[in-house]
Amino acid sequence: MIEAVALTKTFHPPRGAPVEAVRAVSFRVEPGEVYGLLGPNGAGKTSLLRMLGTIITPTSGHCSVGGLSSADDPEGVRRRVGFMSGNTRLYRRLTGRETLRYFGRLHGIEDHAITTRIGELVGAFDLGAFVDRRCDSYSTGQMQRVSIARVMLHDPPALILDEPTLGLDIMSSRTMLDFVGGARDRGTAVIFSTHYMTEAELLCDRIGFLYAGRLMAEGTTDALYAQTGATNLKDAFLSMADEADGTTPKGVA
């Protein structure tokens, strides 16, 4: 459903040397799979996901969603993707319902179909008590539920979630994790970017370690533990990062 092939992104700041944020990254995500993308701040996660979501263009390499190339048919890819990040915001002067209707029109959905879909989402995410209030009156958890509904409005077969639990309290984080698990059960392909190792251990079917723009390794948690001799994702990641930096031998956790 989601495929990246040798994706590379180089930024050219006004001053200084070019910055290669993503370096020849390749991976696949199948329907009904949650692929965890783990790495520290600055590892290149956001640049990689923005290329997959057609927000920025690759310097080289290519990516596709549902068999559609992001270079040849970016609009088609956007129709197949729900993209959400931890800093996604709502229009504070609109109500939740108005926000959903606005994004439905951006997706080219007819008004009667938008009305039907909003009704489904209000029920699915329990928005009824506040969906007709302005978003500037919402709690963090209420904002998150409307944001999730916005992402799901066009019923995409693929989700790209860039650190969606960043800054959330424990209850709001649980709402997000439950949503991701439910999307997987419905056959959605999900990329879940995080630097919270516990979330990845609980949720992800496979995990990719991104470090300094490169995909160091990918696999199930058991495969990554076997490769490094570690017993948790934090130690497995640090072992590989140290090896990449040339500071420890392979297999030392």
Tens digit of each residue's pLDDT (9 = 90 or more) over 170-212 = 888 888 888 899 999 999 999 999 888 888 998 999 999 999 9
Instruction: Find the CATH number of the domain harbouring 130.
Output: 3.40.50.300
Q: Show the domain range for 82.
A: 2-219
Instruction: Report pLDDT for 247.
Output: 60
Buried b (16+ CB within 10 A) or exposed e, 52-72: bbbebebbebebbbbebebee
Pairing between strand 214-219 and 206-211? antiparallel
For every residue of 57-101, DSSP letters joined together read --SEEEEEETTEETTT-HHHHHHHEEEEETT----TTSBHHHHHH
Cα separation, 24 vs 190, whole angstroms = 21
Instruction: Report pLDDT for 252.
Output: 35
More confident residue, 229 or 253: 229
Q: Does position 166 have pLDDT exceeding 90, yes or no?
A: no
Residue-averaged pLDDT of the chain? 91
Q: Is residue 10 part of a domain?
A: yes
Instruction: Report pLDDT for 241.
Output: 92
Taking phi over 0 as left and psi of -120 to 50 as alpha, with beta for the rest, 81 belongs to: beta
Give the tens place of pLDDT for each residue, 52-76.
999 999 999 999 999 999 999 999 9
Q: Is residue 50 part of a domain?
A: yes
Q: Is residue 113 part of a domain?
A: yes
Cα separation, 71 vs 96, whole angstroms = 33
Taking the CA atoms of residue 246, residue 247, residue 248 and residue 250 in that order, the dihedral angle to the nearest 10 degrees is: -20
Structure tokens at 220: 């199930």
Q: Is residue 250 part of a domain?
A: no
- Percent of the chain at pLDDT above 70? 97
- Percent of the chain at pLDDT above 90? 74
Cα separation, 96 vs 75, whole angstroms = 25
**First CA to last CA distance, the chain:** 34
Q: Is residue 19 part of a domain?
A: yes
Q: Is residue 253 part of a domain?
A: no
Give the tens place of pLDDT for each residue, 206-249.
999 999 999 999 999 999 999 999 999 999 999 999 998 876 44
Q: Is residue 79 part of a domain?
A: yes
| Count of domains observed in the chain | 1
Instruction: Judge whether 33 and 18 are in contact, CB under 8 Å.
Output: no
